[in-house]
Amino acid sequence: MRLDINKPILDRNDTLAEENRRLLDEHGVFVLDLMASPGAGKTSTILATIAALRERYAIAVIEGDIASRVDADKISAHGIPAVQINTGGACHLEADMIRRALDTLDLDTLDLIIVENVGNLVCPTEFYLGENAKVMILSVPEGHDKPLKYPGIFQIAEAVVLNKYDTLPVFDFDEDEFRRVVHSLNPSAPVFALSATKGDGVSDWAGWLSARIESTRS
Amino acid sequence: MHEMGIVSGILDASIGAAERSGAIRITEVSVTIGELTEIVDDALHFAFDALTPGTLAEGATLTVTRVGARSRCGDCGTEYEHGRFDVSCPACGGYAVQLLQGRELSIDGVEIDLPEDGTDPIAQTSDASQE
């Protein structure tokens, strides 16, 4: 006997993510989901973003890693609340993990939560967490061909950060080709070239993010 | 290997629906997957075979229907199919595209066996709902 179901496969995750979304909306908190490969500079980009926006917004960070609290400790050292999620092997964050992290934060006092997803260019793309925006970071040393190899993450991202831009002279990275392919995959996504550790280009990225936050408040 | 998470989602819904119908076995699970998702068929089947033993879906077949990507051009209105890497409009070259299909991740349905002793599946459904 045939039984029709016709439901999204990630129905349970999506339902929990919608609950996260409602909870965050009630408290007026904007959530950014940052995705990148290991070593692209997610934590450095978060620290640079905090430095640029902490006068304007109360920020907290949710760190997703397979193990350790190295990243959360780095963020906490700057006086920013940080929750570490250890996925214990899972290659991406899911909505229920975010919910448990949200329960440990004082949402009334926050404006912005930055979620550092597990370092991976594939798996995080399919999982809605209740975020307002997904943004992906690629670093120059990874190579300009990554959008051709991992198109999904470039298509789901609302904006793309090109990090470690100060290393451009020493790598064989074709920036024009990179921008052309990103544009063909995702025509509306802006690309922000920056150096998170040196600070170059961070203000354009932070300006885009604060405009995006304000657009959800109006 | 997020296909494990995907298959968990498939099995939650499939087994839940089959149990509510009083099924004794699931023989086939049908899903639709868009070409723009990051799902690999081999990994999906591997995860399905790993997660089904000991469940109602043990031994079931996983049937995957792939759906191609299709968009509408916001500039000239043309609807067209495209691959993963170039979403631009073939008629006018525009990039103001609206995706119509290609990101599907859905469970279509299951093929189930009901008990042969004449147990009324509807009665079992109401029992299940009272739990």
| For chain B, domain boundaries | 3-68+102-115
Q: How far is CA B102 from the centre of its chain?
A: 13
With beta carbons under 8 A apart, name residues in chain B contacting A88: none
Selecting from A3, A11, A126 the residue whose C-beta is nearest the C-beta of B21 gives: A3
With beta carbons under 8 A apart, name residues in chain B contacting A92: 2, 5
Selecting from B95, B107, B111 the residue whose C-beta is nearest the C-beta of A187 gives: B95
Spatial contact of A114 and A78, defined as CB atoms under 8 Å apart: no
pLDDT given for residue A69 in this prediction: 83
Domain-located, residue A73? yes
Domain-located, residue A3? no
pLDDT given for residue B119 in this prediction: 58
CATH number at residue A27: 3.40.50.300
Partner-chain contact A1 B111, CB within 8 Å: yes
Say if residue B123's pLDDT is above 60: no
pLDDT digits (tens, 9 = 90+) for B33-86: 999 888 889 999 999 999 999 999 999 999 999 999 999 988 899 999 998 877
Is residue A212 classed exposed, middle or buried when 0-12, 13-18 and 19+ CB atoms within 10 A define those classes? middle
Q: Which residues contact B54 (CB under 8 A, 6 or more apart)?
A: none
Say if residue B130's pLDDT is above 60: no
Domain-located, residue A39? yes
Interface contacts (A, B; CB < 8 Å): 107
With beta carbons under 8 A apart, name residues in chain B contacting A151: 36, 84-85
Selecting from A6, A11, A188 the residue whose C-beta is nearest the C-beta of B9 gives: A11
How wide is the angle at C-alpha A187 spanned by C-alphas A18 and B67, nearest 5°?
Answer: 60
With beta carbons under 8 A apart, name residues in chain B contacting A5: 13-14, 17, 107-110
pLDDT given for residue B121 in this prediction: 54
Spatial contact of A7 and A123, defined as CB atoms under 8 Å apart: no
Among B26, B85, B120, B124, most A C-beta atoms within 10 A, so best to mutate, is B85
Say if residue B96's pLDDT is above 80: no
Spatial contact of A175 and A207, defined as CB atoms under 8 Å apart: no
Selecting from B9, B112, B113 the residue whose C-beta is nearest the C-beta of A12 gives: B9
Domain-located, residue A5? no
Q: What is d(CA A11, CA B22) in angstroms, rounded to the nearest whole number? A: 22
Neighbouring CB atoms inside 10 A of B79's CB total 12
* Nearest chain B CA: its distance from A114 CA (Å): 22
CATH class given for the domain over B3-68+102-115: alpha beta
Residues A84, A88, A94, A97: what is their CA dihedral angle, to the nearest 10 degrees? -50
* Nearest chain B CA: its distance from A158 CA (Å): 14
Domain extent for A164: 11-217
Domain-located, residue A2? no
Q: What is d(CA A95, CA A93) in angstroms, rounded to the nearest whole number? A: 7
With beta carbons under 8 A apart, name residues in chain B contacting A90: 2, 5
Q: Which among A32, A25, A39 has a CA at the least distance from the CA of A59?
A: A32
Angle between helices B121-129 and B3-20 (to 10 degrees): 110
Partner-chain contact A4 B108, CB within 8 Å: yes
With beta carbons under 8 A apart, name residues in chain A contacting B105: 8-10, 126
The domain tally of chain A equals 1
Q: Which residues contact B95 (CB under 8 A, 6 or more apart)?
A: A183, A184, A187, A188, B87, B88, B89
Domain-located, residue A24? yes
With beta carbons under 8 A apart, name residues in chain B contacting A4: 108-109
Is residue A100 classed exposed, middle or buried when 0-12, 13-18 and 19+ CB atoms within 10 A define those classes? exposed
Say if residue B125's pLDDT is above 70: no
Q: Which among A187, A32, A125 has a CA at the least distance from the CA of B103?
A: A125
Q: What's the complex ipTM?
A: 0.78
pLDDT given for residue B118 in this prediction: 57
Does residue B99 sit in helix, strand or coil?
Answer: strand
Q: Which residues contact B80 (CB under 8 A, 6 or more apart)?
A: B70, B71, B73, B89, B90, B91
Among A3, A66, A122, most B C-beta atoms within 10 A, so best to mutate, is A3
pLDDT given for residue A65 in this prediction: 83
pLDDT given for residue B27 in this prediction: 97
Q: How confident is the model at residue B131 (pLDDT cuts 50, 70, 90)?
A: very low
Tens place of pLDDT per residue across chain A (218 aa): 999 999 998 888 899 999 999 999 999 999 999 999 999 999 999 999 999 999 999 999 999 888 888 888 999 999 999 999 888 777 889 999 999 999 999 999 999 999 999 988 888 888 899 999 999 999 999 999 999 888 889 999 999 999 999 999 999 999 999 999 999 888 899 999 999 999 999 999 999 999 999 999 87
Domain-located, residue A57? yes
Q: How confident is the model at residue B127 (pLDDT cuts 50, 70, 90)?
A: very low
pLDDT digits (tens, 9 = 90+) for A90-100: 788 999 999 99
With beta carbons under 8 A apart, name residues in chain A contacting B92: none
pLDDT given for residue B3 in this prediction: 83
Domain-located, residue A158? yes
Partner-chain contact B2 A126, CB within 8 Å: yes
Partner-chain contact B2 A7, CB within 8 Å: no
